[in-house]
Amino acid sequence: MAVILPKQLGTPEGELLFRASDKISDLKEAVKIVNTLKETLDYYSGVGLAAPQIGISKKVFIVHLQPTKEDPDLPDIRWKAYINPEILEISSKSNVYAEGCLSVFYATVYGAVARPDGLKIKYWDMNGKEHIDEIDHPFHARVILHENDHLNGKVFLQRMNPEDFSQLHWEEDLDIRKK
């Protein structure tokens, strides 16, 4: 497979973003999807990408985080695949932070979303081995929950409080179509 422009809200292809995805039973299929997700995310520069965003209605997403000068405490999670993920628990503590999405107006719109600070997740890895991870970094948890929402037919705009829509932030120079 190759780099795929993420499907967009408001387009016929984007309708998939509002449908729950199917579980993956074939590990070879999962590996192909993960490789395409990685290639696409690497090209468009993001922290996570889910299969529905590239037109595949399967329960798989990837996360790619690295510490930066701005956030040296960010966990080093490089190209981690979550196949058939299931959120087992979420933290009672939460935070509000601006989220964007490669599938929402080509990554140009950002809005405030409240998310739990941590979570427990069960998933398969690329070898078909089941794992249960506890995530205690708020941004890492946010990325996982954002991508997992895609598998359940939701986008971050649906997680926003209606009163916060007037505060949506537009960054036209981040348009992924300009890559």
What proportion of the chain, given as a percentage, has pLDDT over 70? Answer: 99
pTM higher than 0.85: yes
Lowest mean pLDDT among 2-16, 81-95, 105-119, 142-156: 2-16
Give Cα 25 to chain centroid, integer Å.
21
Residue 69: CB partners within 8 Å, gap ≥ 6? none
The whole-chain average pLDDT of the chain stands at: 96
Catalytic residues: 147
pLDDT > 90 in the chain, percent: 95
- Residue 69 tokens, joined: 């000068």
pLDDT exceeds 60 at position 48: yes
Domains present along the chain, CATH in parentheses = 13-178 (3.90.45.10)
Q: State in Å, rounded, how far the first CA of the chain is from the last one.
A: 19
pLDDT at 1: 57
92-121 mean pLDDT: 97
pLDDT at residue 165 greater than cutoff 80: yes
Question: 77 versus 1: which is more confidently predicted?
Answer: 77
**Is it the case that residue 95 has pLDDT exceeding 90?**
yes
Residues 6+ apart with CB under 8 A from 167: 111, 112
